[in-house]
Chains A and B, each alone.
Chain A
Amino acid sequence: AQSVTQLDSQVPVFEEAPVELRCNYSSSVSVYLFWYVQYPNQGLQLLLKYLSGSTLVKGINGFEAEFNKSQTSFHLRKPSVHISDTAEYFCAVILLSGGYNKLIFGAGTRLAVHP
């Protein structure tokens, strides 16, 4: 069963425009939530994570995400994007089920920032 759904496979946007990358998860247990970024020909880099506490999480490079438990969402936002934000973004979740905790990924969203 798919635990993480990224609703958009590709998001084109103009430079300096705001962007939202959507992520929904399915779980009956508590979760930890993550966003990773992969720049072309590079490995994965952690953008931000939600473990507990404030539902608004700020990450690197001006990104932030909000954990919404009722809607089981963890959307990523940036108020003004740059060309350098062009990359693939992955939402991921750890289901705190009491067993061995694994990081489960969504299919990814390719963000393309145009001048």
Chain B
Amino acid sequence: DVKVTQSSRYLVKRTGEKVFLECVQDMDHENMFWYRQDPGLGLRLIYFSYDVKMKEKGDIPEGYSVSREKKERFSLILESASTNQTSMYLCASSFRDRGFYFGPGTRLTVT
């Protein structure tokens, strides 16, 4: 089974802190994605990566950056956390377009 793991299930940070969310997949997938999930809005794509050191902006990249130094790891960075970034963050990986596999999510609260 494909496994996508995220470094934390719950995280509480203060406004202005730099926040790192880590995602690791174990199936050698080429594509990785970061989404945020908010009630009534579904999942919105923040950034994605189709190869090591490559990244593309999604629909809501403002306030975020990403890093992919190794194929299995994709990090989401909040440069200066704000309260409107309080959300559930979901990482996913895929092989071509045939299946997207999601991690359990990180619920981030920014106070």
A and B: bona fide binding partners: yes
Chain A contacts to B: CB under 8 angstroms: 4, 6, 9, 32, 34, 36, 42-46, 49, 51, 90, 92, 94, 96, 100-108
Interface majority SS (helix, strand, loop, mixed), chain B = strand
Residues of A within 8 A of B103 (CB): 43
* Total of A-B residue pairs, C-beta within 8 Å: 53
With most chain B CB atoms within 10 A of its CB, the pick from A42, A100, A102 is A102
In the assembled complex, the Cα of A42 lies from the Cα of B103 at a distance in Å of 9
Taking a contact as CB atoms under 8 Å apart, the answer to whether B45 and A107 are in contact is no
Chain B contacts to A: CB under 8 angstroms: 33, 35, 40-45, 48, 50, 56, 58, 90, 92, 94, 97-105
Identify B100's interface contact among A9, A46, A100, CB under 8 A: A46
Q: A43-B103, A94-B97 are in contact. Are A107 and B48 (CB under 8 A)?
A: no
Interface majority SS (helix, strand, loop, mixed), chain A = strand
In the assembled complex, the Cα of A100 lies from the Cα of B49 at a distance in Å of 10
